[in-house]
Amino acid sequence: MEWVHRLLAWYRHHQRQLPWRDDPSPYRVWVSEIMLQQTRVVAVQPYFARFLARFPSLESLAAADQEEVLKVWEGLGYYSRARNLHQAARQVVAERGGRIPASSVELAELPGVGPYTAAAIASIAFGEATPVVDGNVLRVVARHRAWREDIAAARTRNRVRASLEEAIAESGAPSSFNQAMMELGALVCTPRQPQCAVCPLAGDCRALAEGLVAELPVKRKRGAVPCYEIAVGLVFDGELVFIARRGEDQMLGGLWEFPGGKREGAESLAETCLREVREEVGLTVAVEEEICTVDHAYSHFAIRLTAFRCRLAGPVAELCCERPTRWVRLDQLRELPFPKANHKIFAALGM
Ligand code: SF4
């Protein structure tokens, strides 16, 4: 396994300087790994800096309000990550005296920590010899060994993980080994135009030898992403606008929003707005004007969201909502955590 030592030597010289690498304490590694789930390094860096400035320790995170945590996370997406991290921090403080578990098995018992994240934290922060398998690692291994299996399949992931057990043990440096594999995939063995000429694995890369680099890895194609038309109402009562907090079990849970929902059948978007406001929170409203339409893409679907300015056309006492609700001034909206798409509405309102 001479390739392992070439890989480690390459990593020593070419690794990126990333804020969580300067001081790989368990808390910082944990926060970084949660933020890096399905999110690119470049997007995570400013959030990581802000998060650590606001919550420099596990204890400070555990003591914070959930709304404050969501506000610092606002814009990074996948908000269940923030809620789970917060909940897990409280759990570690309350049940383990603030000591973050050192093994991947124990880490995987915490909210929001799956097998991948547990392996990453355990290896990087505690030196556990457990291979980490993300998209970068799958691509490097599939090419290095010229494996033609679908890398989206769970059995391929398991095969890749098993194939790295011996390598990580031989490395004698589990933290560097895992990070080196991911870094090689991110910087050299990239999806398009991999830089084989400077790759430390080129000497024994079977895809390169067999002319298969452009064909590998094999990945099953996902279907087309659906797009939903959504209408929301900014319901005004004088200078105050109505907002409701999304349920914990919902996507974007814990964030605030304007009431609204998906267009149905042949109804106009204004009709959707009236119906959804009525169904969601019981208020009878009249549409005054369209404020704006914004497009926003999530990982598995996209939305075209049209916001309407509405006025109450029935009594406020009709309000009927099991979720927390508030009436706030427009200038207070930016102080609260909202989904990213709503910030485009704020901009349209001149805020
Ligand atoms: S030689 Fe090319 S294809 Fe093979 S692992 Fe390196 S970058 Fe990837």
Chain centroid to CA 99: 25
Same domain for 186 and 117?
yes
Same domain for 162 and 251?
no
- Answer yes or no: are the C-beta atoms of 284 and 322 closer than 8 Å: no
Ligand 1 atom closest to the CA of 202, numbered from 1: 1
For residue 298, what are the domain limits? 227-348
Calculate what percentage of the chain has a pLDDT beyond 70.
100
Same domain for 168 and 67?
yes
| CA distance linking residue 336 with residue 341, whole number of Å | 14
| CA distance linking residue 326 with residue 17, whole number of Å | 43
Asked about 33 being catalytic, the answer comes back as: yes
Give distance in angstroms: CA of 198 to centre of ligand 1: 9
Give distance in angstroms: CA of 92 to centre of ligand 1: 41
Same domain for 204 and 258?
no
Is 265 within the bounds of a domain? yes
Is 51 within the bounds of a domain? yes
Chain centroid to CA 266: 35
Last residue within a domain, chosen from 195, 215, 235: 215
Q: Which two tokens stand for residue 164?
A: 């790295």
Catalytic residue among 2, 33, 239, 264: 33
β-pairing, 285-297 vs 260-262, is unpaired
Same domain for 338 and 231?
yes
Neighbours of 227 (CB within 10 A): 12
CATH number at residue 309: 3.90.79.10
- Find, among 249, 230, 262, 237, the residue nearest to 313 by Cα: 237
Is 170 within the bounds of a domain? yes
- The conformation of residue 218, written as its DSSP 8-state character, comes to B
Residue with CA at minimum distance from ligand 1 atom 8: 189
What pLDDT is recorded for position 36? 95
What pLDDT is recorded for position 45? 97
Give distance in angstroms: CA of 134 to centre of ligand 1: 16
Same domain for 159 and 193?
yes
Mutate which of 182, 198, 201, 215 to test ligand 1's pocket (most atoms within 8 Å of Cβ)? 201
Chain centroid to CA 343: 18
Is 222 within the bounds of a domain? no
pLDDT tens string 177-221: 999 999 999 999 999 999 999 999 999 999 999 999 999 999 987
Ligand 1 atom closest to the CA of 188, numbered from 1: 7
Gyration radius from the chain CA atoms: 24
Mean predicted confidence (pLDDT) in 31-47? 95
β-pairing, 325-329 vs 240-245, is antiparallel
Mean pLDDT, rounded, of the chain:
94
What pLDDT is recorded for position 63? 98
Query: Ligand 1 pocket: which residues have CB below 6 Å?
Result: 140, 143-144, 188-189, 194, 196, 199, 201-202, 205, 207-208, 213
pLDDT tens string 67-107: 999 999 999 988 989 999 999 999 999 999 999 999 999 99
Same domain for 211 and 246?
no
The domain total for the chain is 2
Same domain for 155 and 202?
yes
Instruction: Return the H-helix or E-strand segment holding 236.
Output: strand 227-237
Mutate which of 205, 206, 215 to test ligand 1's pocket (most atoms within 8 Å of Cβ)? 205
Residue 160: pLDDT over 90: yes
Is 221 within the bounds of a domain? no
Give distance in angstroms: CA of 203 to centre of ligand 1: 9
What pLDDT is recorded for position 317? 86
Is 243 within the bounds of a domain? yes
pLDDT tens string 290-321: 999 999 988 789 999 999 999 999 898 888 88
Is 27 within the bounds of a domain? yes
Chain centroid to CA 31: 12
Mutate which of 4, 10, 140 to test ligand 1's pocket (most atoms within 8 Å of Cβ)? 140
Same domain for 201 and 240?
no
Would you list the DSSP string of 101-166? --SHHHHTTSTT--HHHHHHHHHHHH--------HHHHHHHHHHTT--SBTTSHHHHHHHHHHHHH
CATH number at residue 173: 1.10.340.30
| CA distance linking residue 232 with residue 8, whole number of Å | 53
- Find, among 187, 175, 173, 172, the residue nearest to 140 by Cα: 187
What pLDDT is recorded for position 221? 78
Last residue within a domain, chosen from 186, 215, 244: 215
Same domain for 210 and 234?
no
Last residue within a domain, chosen from 168, 188, 215: 215
Same domain for 204 and 301?
no
Mean predicted confidence (pLDDT) in 250-265? 93
Give distance in angstroms: CA of 194 to centre of ligand 1: 6
What pLDDT is recorded for position 128? 97
- Answer yes or no: are the C-beta atoms of 252 and 334 closer than 8 Å: no
Give distance in angstroms: CA of 184 to centre of ligand 1: 9
pTM for the model:
0.79
Same domain for 154 and 287?
no
Residue 222: pLDDT over 80: no
